[in-house]
Amino acid sequence: MPSPPEEGTQPKTDSGSGPGQTSERDTNQPPPPTAQSQPPQAQTQTQPYPPVMGYPGYSQDPYSNYPNVPYNHQQYAYAQAPPASYYGSSYPAQQNPVYQRPAPSGFFRGILTGLIVLVVLLCISTTITWLVLRPQIPVFSVTSFSVSNFNLTGPVFSAQWTANLTVENPNTKLNGYFDRIQAFIYNQNAIGEDDFLAMAFFQPVSVETKKSASIGETLTAGGKEQPKVPSWVGEEMKKERDTGMVSFDLRMLVWVTFKTDGWSARERGLKVFCGKLKVAFEGGSGNGAVLLPKPLPCLVYV
């Protein structure tokens, strides 16, 4: 059977303490520490934080949210760059490549220099030859001009013109070769306009230095190979025919080449104009001729 607790092991109680009384230990407890006496770490831990507003990770300090960037660096206030313009291109601008022409090689420069020298020499030699030879324009003159079968009463106008000319070569060192000679007959109406009547080619001819040659051809109107003359042109010539005289113009296109021993000039075109060839008709017939006491010179244009 257990023995009763010993007196020395029991806690001692203060005398006079009862259920309704407080002990001196309870009344002499130290006061709680104030906020000023607490360490800073305790203050920080016990200080309540205000509720966080905004995006997560966004500090309330406005200067702590921007990274350290260099001066004049483009920085956006948002987390990503603003979108591209609706009408603009989303691709970055590309610079046009600059083409650099390679420097010409020595071989190319040599060929170019040789060509330039050759052209200059040819020009100089041609100029010197031209000055030495001194080519002159040939002289054309009408020796006779006549009309036959001049018919204005039929449904189609018809007539024949016979033209004879002389070609003189005034050059002393160059021979003239007239490869093509094309002749045209015109009639000048009352208002000063030229009406085409007929066309033909003369035979080619060559003329030596200081000499002349005769050329001649017959031009026919109303043939199959000739253009049709309008009726109103025939009516105008009929009025002129009633006066006993009709005026015609003879025009020619001439291609000539001047040559000499070892030198030849390029082919040149000439325009020959023999105007105001007034044909006098014999009564009511369709035949007439130009009364020329001497050859009638023609105008030559280069």
pLDDT digit string, tens, across residues 172-202: 888 999 999 999 999 988 777 889 999 999 9
The domain defined by 139-301 carries CATH number 2.40.10: no
Beta bridge partners of 217: 163
pTM confidence score: 0.59
pLDDT digit string, tens, across residues 242-300: 898 999 999 999 999 998 887 777 888 999 999 989 999 988 888 999 988 899 999 99
The whole-angstrom separation of Cα 104 and Cα 108 is 6
Listed by start position, the domains of the chain span 108-136, 139-301
Q: Count of H helices and E strands in the chain? A: 4, 12
Q: How far does CA 237 lie from the centroid of its chain?
A: 50
pLDDT for the residue numbered 107: 83
Q: What is the mean pLDDT of the chain?
A: 77
Above 80 in pLDDT, residue 227? yes
The whole-angstrom separation of Cα 282 and Cα 149 is 12
Are residues 302 and 136 in contact, defined by beta-carbon separation less than 8 angstroms?
A: no
The whole-angstrom separation of Cα 225 and Cα 88 is 70
pLDDT category, 108, cuts 50, 70, 90? confident
Contacts of 76 (CB under 8 A, 6+ apart): 82
